[in-house]
Amino acid sequence: MIQISSYLYEKGLVPGKSGNISIRYKKDEYERIAVTPSRLSLKSLVEKDIVIVDMDENKIYEDIKTPTSELLMHLKIYKARKDINAIVHTHSPIATGFAFAGEKIERIEGFGPIKDRFIPYVDYYDPGSVELAEAVSKGLEETDVVILKEHGIVSIGGNLDEASLLSEFIEESAKTQFVKKVLMANRL
């Protein structure tokens, strides 16, 4: 988690104190979620900052850190998708710009099969709200990434590397699409 957090920050996908990540694992036959804390830059994450919770939002270890305000979203996704073990939520600038503009991001070849031409949107709900958690978990039932309208991107995977690479790929796809639009507009 620390390595991926630094990677996401260095790539500009989680500027400032934005974004959060989590992984699901089993310990003593119980599912646990390791999640990044609230109000902390992923740039400076260290082991003691990682918060461990159960599937009912209970902290396993009494520590001073509070889990991300998006914890409910992570838990709802894990409950809906038993086949994944990692979630990455970014605020990458280009893809998030598309999210604020309401522009669709095309899926481009290079990261698995393309079932749908565009990455699906989830309507805007307040960050950390039950409504957002429910909408995102529903939006991810049959896809691996969604755009949160006026908010950011959520990608999922079998592991944290897979989910983070997908987030990076979506940002690069948005950049490619933006450059294409600029170049096409200059032809007119």
**pLDDT for the residue 113:** 60
Q: What are the pLDDT digits (tens) for 31-81?
A: 999 999 999 999 999 999 999 999 999 888 876 789 999 999 999 999 999
Residue tagged active-site, from 29, 31, 47, 70: 70
Q: pTM above the 0.85 mark?
A: yes
Note if 70 is an active site residue: yes
More confident residue, 112 or 85: 85
What are the structural domain ranges in the chain? 2-187
Q: How far apart are CA 20 and CA 75, in angstroms?
A: 13
Residue 167 has pLDDT above 60, yes or no: yes
Q: Longest C-alpha distance within the chain, in Å?
A: 63
Q: How far apart are CA 137 and CA 147, in angstroms?
A: 12
Helices 71-80 and 130-139 cross at an angle (nearest 10°) of 30
* Fold of the CATH domain 2-187: L-fuculose-1-phosphate Aldolase (3.40.225)
Q: What are the pLDDT digits (tens) for 119-151?
A: 999 999 999 999 999 999 999 999 999 999 999
Rounded mean pLDDT, 83-102: 96
3-state helix, strand, coil split of the chain in percent (to 5) is 40, 20, 40
**pLDDT for the residue 154:** 98
